[in-house]
Structure 1
Amino acid sequence: MGERPEGPGQGGAEDGTAWSGRAGAQAFAAVDAATDRLLGYPFVFRELSRRIGAGEVLVDYGCGPGKVADEAARRLGARVLGVDTSPEMLALARGSATAVAEYHLVENGRASGLADGCADAVMCNHVLASLPAEEAVLEVFTEIRRLLRPDAPFVLLSTDPACSGTEYASLRIGDPGEVYGPGDELTVRLRRTDGSWQEARNHAWPVGVLPALLERAGFRDVVQHRPTVEEALTVADAGFATGRAWSAERARPPLVITTALATPAPLT
């Protein structure tokens, strides 16, 4: 999904089960995501604005209920295609994200109806935490590489599990004092828009393992950046950025932007 640390059609509802079915999709859409709106999505949009122009094709891989895809379409002027593994998420997105051009279901690891090299850029926000094994991560990266034209950019937003146990404005990743390796299960607490909290079962993907996996899937020139609150004051919405203290986000920023370029030809 494109909003939080759970990936396409995955995550947790009130009881920590998957974001499946209509109720799960609606619960996911009610996540507040304040920390992401400060340190995540504005920086994803900034990277994309540097690399694609109006009218070019942007795929949101794991678009969830479509909020981020919709904002990207409006901000960038791009033709945004949303893809997700959950039919219920796509149904919700079709009813709310009016600026998104098309939606496609991911079936058996492949985005239906999308040709090789159809995208001028791909963004992927918080999808990895739904994936339990390296093979699953590589499958997602390889499908994203298939969608991209040669030398096109991929922008990936992920939560760093090394920041476990810290209470952020809208989430807590894992438990205090725990160290998580690749694919390890962890629990994420997410704040809803009504101020209540819910828990979701996720998987840890330390940001340091991502460059090698991207290279194996057919990417090059991998760069990682950890946005800070100080940067966000000039990148995010000014009123939103200055409206809270963001104490934990200042002390230990939890989000990382990873960018990469597609190799000249997909790996076979």
Structure 2
Amino acid sequence: MALNQNVKISISGLPGIGDKVQVDLGYDDGAAGTTATSPFAVMVELDGGTDIPLLSDDTLTFQSSGPDFYNPTTLFLKSTDDIVFASSFTTTGKLNVDSQEAITASGVTLQASDMYLGVTKVVTDGVTLLDGVNLLGNASGAINLVGATLTASGIGLIVSTCVNVSTQDSSYASNLIKVAFVQTSSDAQITLSGVTNLNATAGKITLASNSTVTAKATTQPDANSTAADPAMAAPTSARRWPSTWRRSAAAPASAAVAQAASAAGPGPGRDHRDRPA
């Protein structure tokens, strides 16, 4: 596909298969260091389908080799699974990254006019092991920066996880026992480790993580119950891990990171999501 207009590439993977997609904006026009193409917006999105725990995991990886690199007006990366930066990326345009599981940048430099890294995970059901028993309705999301340097006029790192599950009771032992059980958890984290630097040239850095859980188990007598009939329900188990942003103790804090820790408000984020035409 020629980059002579805004480009959107959508890839649908197969459920249960570990889909691997690499984004490479490098090219060779025979004269290294030249800019032979006009800039347009580029969007790459991966829908990998449902993973099988411990067997499959989808990944969208940014890794460019050069010697020249395309400079888009905005680079959008969007995935239902992990997004990994395996090489550095520099653009005079914007960088907008959106994952439903995790974003990782290790040992790389990311530079843009404006930068948003966001992870949003929403779970509305778990696994019904038995009727009335709902397990593993878990949501986790993370941004991991390891020895990375991010530079932009504004930087937003946002992680949000939400669980909203419910189950209705089911009868066992010839209606002698009714069971309604829910197990769930939600975990949102931002972790900065190694020598990681966040440089906001306009002084706008936002780090925000939010984790919520709504779990409901419903049990009630049936039409044949009497006042003497006991009603039983297993207790609901719901865990809401504290949403955190963390910096490794081994990494020296910079002024930019210190400012990020106290930043409040929406900051650079969803309102920066320009879409290619």
Does TM-score exceed 0.5, indicating one fold?
no
Higher-strand-fraction structure = 2
Interval containing the TM-score (normalised by the shorter chain): under 0.3
Taking CA–CA contacts closer than 8 Å with sequence separation of 6 or more, which of the two structures ends up with the larger relative contact order?
1
Q: Which has the larger radius of gyration?
A: 2
Higher-helix-fraction structure = 1
